[in-house]
Amino acid sequence: MNQIGETPSRDDSPPDNLMFSLLEAARALETRLETALAGVGLSMAKHGVLTTLVDAGEALPLSELAARQKCVRSNITQLVDRLEAEGLVRRVDDPDDRRSIRAELTPLGRDRQAAGAAQLAAIQADFTASLSDAKRATIRGMLDRLK
């Protein structure tokens, strides 16, 4: 089963599909992360927002959240709707600019983020442990080239 260095089978995989293998592997990894997070009631998207708020150490305007999450503002609007409905985050007015609305962590949101981070850390440790230093360097090189 662990025939490393060789792709599974001839018929199943085209000759030079390394790029697609990479995408497939990333997708599998993402599924694993989503599954782990689902175990604590989170998704990658939700955990991402909570983590950004924890890291910031303060309530952030939704547009700032969108900028840090590298997504569109309306996405954050809806994500925060769901986080708020679950009691993980709270919308608070900005006294200095009445256009702005900040998202503030609730204690439950903080706890949930920690639980999610623990899940991800376990998988990440697993991932890292499976690679030698040399291989990590090679992969890093590839990653840089893909930027």
Partner DNA sequence: GAAGATTGATCGATCAATCTTC
Binding site for DNA (CB under 7 A): 43-46, 61-64, 66, 70-82, 91, 94, 97-102
List 89's β-bridge partners, or say none.
Answer: 105
* Contact between 114 and a second copy per CB under 8 A: yes
Q: Binders of a second copy among 15-34, rule CB under 8 A?
A: 16-30
Structure tokens belonging to residue 20: 């697609």
| Smallest separation, CB 77 to a second copy (Å) | 22
| Smallest separation, CB 135 to DNA (Å) | 28
Closest to a second copy by CB, 29 vs 108, is 29
Closest to DNA by CB, 76 vs 105, is 76
Helix 62-69 and helix 44-56, axial crossing angle in degrees, nearest 10: 110
Helix (H, G, I), strand (E, B) or coil at 89: strand
Closest to DNA by CB, 10 vs 70, is 70
For every residue of 74-124, which 3-state class applies, written as one string? HHHHHHHHHHHHCCCEEEEECCCCCCCEEEEECHHHHHHHHHHHHHHHHHH
Closest CA to 90 of 113, 112, 75, 107: 107
Judged by the rule CB under 8 A, the positions of this chain that interact with a second copy are: 2-8, 16-30, 51, 54-55, 113-114, 117-118, 120-121, 123-124, 127-128, 130-131, 134-147
